[in-house]
Amino acid sequence: MRQTWRWFGPKDRVSIDDMMQAGVEGVVSALHHVPTGAVWTPEEIADRKRVIATRRDGRPSSLTWDVVESLPVSEDIKKQKGDWKTHVANWKTSMQHLSDAGIDVICYNFMPVLDWTRTNLAWERPNGARCMRFDLIDFAAFDIHILERPGAAESFPDAVVAEAAERFARMEDAQKEQLAGNVVFGLPGAAEKFTLDDVKAHLAEYDSISEAQLQSNMIDFLSEVAPMAQDLGMRLCCHPDDPPFPLLGLPRIMSTEAHYRKILDAVDLPSNGVTLCTGSLGARPDNNPVEIFKALADRVHFLHLRNVSIEGTEVMNSLYEDEHLSGHTDMVAMVAAVVAEERRRKAAGRADWSIPFRPDHGQDILDDIGREAQPGYPAIGRLKGLAELRGLYRAFQHPMVAGA
């Protein structure tokens, strides 16, 4: 397991020096300032590699740019509208430029409109730590009463609709504004920032796009880019929906093992793979991330190891970002399964036997609080998670454990 760390670029509150002190081996980054659909130029890629390789005082760091997260797939590609063919061509050009720079793992997603959805970006836990939360009642209040999406109430159980109405009635204007801002926050560091009008416009364009149609559009996209990735020796890995159930009336196509299997079988190339995110997949009670990993292990190219606690037994539920060793996913079993897969790959002679992972998200603790880092990406909270995951990994490498 190669230890990596997500870094949003020079504006990130976590520095290259901080990452070195955390003991990471590689960096996960992206050119967030480049507009979605545009080409990532060799010059921009080289500049990001240079910055990652340089410490604050100008000395070389030991870090390299190992994984791209994300090379965005435009809404035009997802909908097959507008400039989608040009955007696919530009995506392929960017892929070539990344390959030329020696970067061969690209994480992306195919979520419509928003890359992830939370209702609270700094929910306080009993011990004073802060974390991100998706509250179903708050989200229903947003969808029905703030966004005023037609037919929104039909997306929720009657009890949720009633409670959302009561909660919305008690909200001050500032609370409504904060809730709306949290929901449309999207991907931290991205070039685009959506307004409510933007969201409404995007939703309107998805009115005629079913789950089957979105799957078909994704297969068309992968049929274009995956063969090229295969020729270049690159690995593409799709991140699951976050959270993994339908929101805003939009289709979800990467929420379960069955969803992944459909896409992997449709474009059956080793280059077409999976970003196995235990937090996203673990956000619904009928998903077992460990078993999903085992089923798809041969095509898992990248790991996001985080945990969520879910509140309820329905597919759609409230949840919050828990500590890495707590929550729905049995992280001990998860790391054991990854170690077993790496041994299998190494015995088979696979060059990609060591699977890159990063401690995804983290609770704000200690000096994280008030530091104003990207939501979900604190320095100390992620360091705590990395230390716990590193300890598990090393334990499974110990002769007494490995031989058990």
Q: What's 366's DSSP letter?
A: G
> Among this protein's residues, is 361 annotated catalytic?
yes
- pLDDT (mean) for 224-247: 97
pLDDT at residue number 400: 63
| Residue 188, pLDDT above cutoff 90 | no
- pLDDT (mean) for 103-114: 95
pLDDT at residue number 189: 41
Catalytic residue among 242, 277, 320, 368: 277
Strand order in the sheet with 120-124: 120-124, 130-134, 318-322, 307-311
pLDDT at residue number 195: 83
Q: What tokens appear for 354 in the block?
A: 């060591």
Which tens digit of pLDDT belongs to each residue from 196-224? 888 898 899 998 899 999 999 999 999 99
Compute the mean pLDDT over every residue in the chain, rounded to the nearest whole number.
95
* Whole-angstrom distance, CA of residue 108 vs CA of residue 98: 14
| Residue 184, pLDDT above cutoff 90 | no
> Among this protein's residues, is 97 annotated catalytic?
no
pLDDT at residue number 226: 98
Catalytic residue among 202, 259, 301, 304: 304
Which tens digit of pLDDT belongs to each residue from 71-93? 999 999 999 999 999 999 999 99
* Whole-angstrom distance, CA of residue 168 vs CA of residue 172: 9
| Residue 34, pLDDT above cutoff 60 | yes
Catalytic residue among 87, 145, 239, 301: 239
Rg of the chain in Å (alpha carbons)? 21
pLDDT at residue number 192: 59
- pLDDT (mean) for 27-51: 97
The confidence band for 399, taking pLDDT boundaries of 50, 70 and 90, is: confident
- pLDDT (mean) for 135-149: 97
> Among this protein's residues, is 324 annotated catalytic?
no
pLDDT at residue number 198: 84
396 half-sphere exposure, CB direction, 13 A CA radius: 19
| Residue 187, pLDDT above cutoff 50 | no
- pLDDT (mean) for 106-110: 97
- pLDDT (mean) for 158-163: 98
pLDDT at residue number 119: 97
Which tens digit of pLDDT belongs to each residue from 358-387? 999 999 999 999 888 889 999 999 999 999
Closest residue by Cα to residue 198 from 211, 220, 209, 183: 183
Of all residues in the chain, the percent with pLDDT exceeding 70 is 97
Which tens digit of pLDDT belongs to each residue from 6-20? 999 999 999 999 999
pLDDT at residue number 114: 85
State residue 66 phi and psi, 5-degree precision.
-95, -40
Catalytic residue among 301, 328, 361, 368: 361
> Among this protein's residues, is 238 annotated catalytic?
no
Can you say whether the dihedral through the CA atoms of 363, 72, 247, 169 is positive or negative?
positive
Q: What tokens appear for 397 in the block?
A: 């490498």
- pLDDT (mean) for 263-282: 98
User: Of 270 and 190, which is predicted with more confidence?
Assistant: 270
User: How are the residues of the chain apportioned to helix, strand and coil, as percentages rounded to the nearest 5?
Assistant: 45, 15, 40
Catalytic residue among 115, 360, 364, 368: 360
**Among 10-14, 290-294, 312-316, the range of highest mean pLDDT:** 290-294
Q: What tokens appear for 312 in the block?
A: 């309820």
Q: Are 228 and 104 in contact (CB under 8 A)?
A: no
